[in-house]
Amino acid sequence: MDSPPDLLAPGIDVALLADAVQAVRGKLFILGGGWDTLWVQRFPARHPSLAIGLRLRVPVSWASDSLQLSVELQDADGHSLLPHPLSHNIAIPPGTQHPPNASDFGLIRSFTFNNLMFESEGSYSFVISVDDEPVSRLRFSVRARVPRAKPESD
């Protein structure tokens, strides 16, 4: 059973994989989103573009004036597949306006990865961290597409 979320620390409300995502004015614009399997012709496979769209929940009591949101790609054994995590440094404006009795506010962000290489079929995940602490994991598989059998001719 999962433990309850820490209401004093940032957390992820929404995270999804897509072909493309833009984060504009507090909204996610998603193309080809919500998948969990990449189908490829053969290995190694180069995937031209994939993206992550997410909503980060930040408590209004968050004491820092900034945070670092990072994404790292890992294989099933937990080995990193990127030279370094992709990161956004986010400044939290002082005196951010919140409705009365608000407990948190949302930050919308997107990450795009171009030309990722997958050496073999298997399970992978994007680990999402805030200030180097993992807060969520997006799991997906990369599988070889089975060629269709040619119909027999009479």
In this predicted model, what pLDDT tens digit does every residue of 85-114 receive, in sequence order? 999 998 886 655 566 666 778 899 999 999
Say how many Å lie between the first and final Cα of the chain, rounded: 58
Model pLDDT, residue 97: 59
Q: What is the DSSP string of 114-127?
A: EEEEE-SSEEEEEE
Alpha-carbon gap, residue 65 to 10, rounded angstroms: 13
Q: Is the pLDDT of residue 153 over 80?
A: no
Copy the structure tokens of residue 9: 């620390």
The fold for domain 11-144 equals Immunoglobulin-like (2.60.40)
Taking 3-state DSSP, the helix, strand and coil percentages for the chain, each rounded to the nearest 5, stand at: 0, 60, 40
Beta strands in 76-103 (DSSP E): 86-91
Q: Which of 150, 136, 153 has the alpha carbon at shortest distance from 17?
A: 136
- Say whether pTM exceeds 0.75: yes
pLDDT greater than 90 at residue 154: no
- State mean pLDDT over 73-83: 95
Phi-psi region of 76 (alpha: psi -120 to 50; beta: other; left: phi over 0): alpha
